[in-house]
Amino acid sequence: DLEDAITTVPLLEEIPFCRYLGPERTHLLRSWGERFDVDLVRRVINIISAGTGSREGLRRRIASVPITVADGEKLLAARNLREVLESMKGYPLYDILEEPMKQAEKHKGTLFRVKMALDSFFMTNILSGGKKLPGSEGRGGRHMFGTRADLINIYWIYRGRRFFSMSPEEALGLTLPVRYRVKFDALSAIAFAPDMPSMIDTLRAGPYGEVFGDLGEGSAAEVDEMTLEHNLYRVLFRISEAIFRSGSSGVHTVLAYLTLRELEVKDLFTIIECVRYGFDRDETREFLIHPSFLSFTGREGRS
């Protein structure tokens, strides 16, 4: 219940900004909010896939902030992937998910492609809206969400090759139709790396090498999932914080603020899990995204 309540905070903070912005900028903020709606769809799919899990928290979320990518009641009542898809009829997400959902239902296989399609929907929407903005607003939006698209692309190629035994062609085919600093040739070099150590070396040599810099050693290089995920989020935090602190006015600053709040929520989840399961606090600190949470372990001032 606590986690579901915390999740709604960035969404509730987004709503007042929309009252003061024009149509294009309001649409962009709404597109940002769809990220949480997409995540709600993902959570329902996970509950169906696992065969267990409560939907009451999701129901309260929809009651406080209505979902915009599906019929909320039908989604919450869905018992299988076909019914999840039916809940999206009449919404843009239906066309995006129709084929991967039908394939997953038919073959009872991995939901990897379904989840990738959800990411693609969000990123394509928000970046297409950002392209219409002039000056610093457009540049800031492209920087934040172009970087997010790059990180999603390299992360999914890595996961596809390592955990799902995909061929290079299959992994490359999962990437978003969006490129920022990591172009197609660079993504191809990552996907076609002959083994995992070579892939990590290629990633380290790229524009986001810091994400992989302290992970894995030599020919036995294997990336710890939790560390990698939080390194990706730290890149987003740093970029969003720089835009927010720049002092320039515009919707890009609002988006930077909301992104920072989204990442703070992730840190709160990490702290809750630490307390709930009695994890070592010093070790938990290594997985926090926001540097101000140093105080969580009583180690303020440590660099």
- Residue spans per domain, the chain: 1-99
Positions of the chain with pLDDT under 70: 1, 214-223, 291-303
> Which alpha helices (DSSP H) does 19-134 contain, by range?
23-50, 56-64, 72-77, 81-86, 92-107, 112-130
| Closest C-alpha among 47, 40, 54, 46 to residue 1 | 54
CB atoms within 10 A of CB 146: 20
Q: What's the CA gap between 99 and 276, in Å, rounded?
A: 39
- pLDDT the model gives residue 291: 67
Q: What's the CA gap between 24 and 31, in Å, rounded?
A: 11
Number of alpha carbons in the 13 Å side-chain half-sphere of residue 149? 26
- pLDDT the model gives residue 290: 82
- pLDDT the model gives residue 240: 96
- pLDDT the model gives residue 295: 43
- pLDDT the model gives residue 157: 94
In the 8-state DSSP scheme, what is residue 89? Answer: T
